[in-house]
Structure 1
Amino acid sequence: MLKIPETLAERLPVALPRGTAAVLTGARSLPLSMVAAVTAAGGHAAIVGQPRACLLAAAEMGADLSRIAVIPDPGEDPVEVAAVLLDGLDLVVLDLAGRVVPGTRARAVTARARQKGCTLLVTGGDWPGAQARLDAAVSGYEVIGAGTAGPVPGCGRIGRVRLVTRGRGRIPGLARVVGG
């Protein structure tokens, strides 16, 4: 099973099995928290096609940055770049940037992920045949330094983001909507 963040594990009945493909939508903190969980546990991950990925946020979530490969501009074929990375990593996050992936290509890459035991998380588009679909929406913020009177505009720092997560898919136990 892929190591997932404790906060997400509380909401999902099962972890994502290695070698699966999942589509993530919504808050960008969801894939970053998964990268953080995998690398903090000693695994290796890659982020493909996300030039604005916030590695500071990942580090604050506990990520080991020495275990993350970042390919901000994968060129014309980010799916091929991700497929190559599946060979030696535990997790690959692929941002499709709105590209459409034909079903036959998605099945071939998913089969490679399954064979190599690497989990593929797809953002920024759809992945035909994905075994799971996870969505996260920001439901609120907690501000550090807000004091007892509450947040003061322009003061403090976001210390925690509250998310509502939903999952569904063909993984046993993920067939229901979950939230938090």
Structure 2
Amino acid sequence: MGTQIRDTGDRDHRIAQLRARMAAVAGVPSREDGLNVGLSLPVPRRAVTTMGDCPALVVECISQVTQSGGYVGVVGWPDLCVAAIERMEQLVLVPDPGSDPLGVTSVLVEGLDLVVCHSRVPLTLSPVRARPLLGRLRKGKAALVLVGLDVASPALRIDAHISEIRGIERGRGRIDALDIDVRMRTRDGRPARETLTIGRAREHLRAV
């Protein structure tokens, strides 16, 4: 399964664990502008994307990155179901980042390809609070996705919800696939909308 970094109560020890994990997976930083997560628009590297709380889409994005050989970190989301992801060894999971989730996230963005930082309570980060994290982000290669957190002028906003559950009939059946309605908007206002089907009835992304 994925590497789990647990809260030991010692912040320095936890940061040391994270840095050791980064050293084990870090390669030559890519200078690509975008990271393919299976959507029509890539999520930008070295920049912030905000995403609505749609766990199915997050897991699909993680799976797309790991299948392509990338490494992913997830901070502050202990109940995110990642069991279906095939390459669990490419995950760094920090379900309980303690009192400093942004500090933990800032370490992960130094060496991973995708980092997801989740907050149970909706929160907008002030420029002062976000500045150290953004500074680390620009020096690395990661695409940072915030769920439940917001910043001023993110590079990309993604809103998503499950629009259809396939396979369920009246009184019988089981879920075969999910249709997820995805809406995106870049910082310069360029919109995109598509439907992503996940599961056995999987289809290509459909623009609408």
Judge same fold: TM > 0.5, yes or no: yes
CA distance in 1, matches of 2:192, 2:131: 25
Which is bigger in relative contact order (C-alpha 8 A, separation at least 6)? Answer: 1
Provide, for residues 99-147 of structure 1, a one-character-per-residue CA deviation record: whole Å limited to 9, x for no partner.
Answer: 442212324322321220111000012123311110111101112xx6x
CA distance in 2, matches of 1:141, 1:165: 15
What is the root-mean-square deviation in Å for CA atoms of aligned residues?
1.8
> Which residue of the other structure, out of 53, 56, 59, is the alignment partner of 2:80?
53
How does the TM-score come out when normalised to structure 1? 0.81
Unaligned runs of 5+ in 1: none
Aligned to 1:27: 54
Aligned to 1:118: 142
Aligned to 1:139: 163
Contact kept? 1:106, 1:129, Cα under 8 Å:
no
Q: Which one has the bigger strand percentage?
A: 2
- Shift of the alpha carbon at 1:156? 3.4
> Which residue of the other structure, out of 153, 160, 163, is the alignment partner of 2:177?
160
- Shift of the alpha carbon at 1:26? 3.6
Aligned to 1:178: 193
Aligned to 1:95: 118
Q: Secondary structure at the match of 1:111?
A: helix
How does the TM-score come out when normalised to structure 2? 0.71
Q: Secondary structure at the match of 1:37?
A: helix
2:193 maps to a residue whose letter is: V
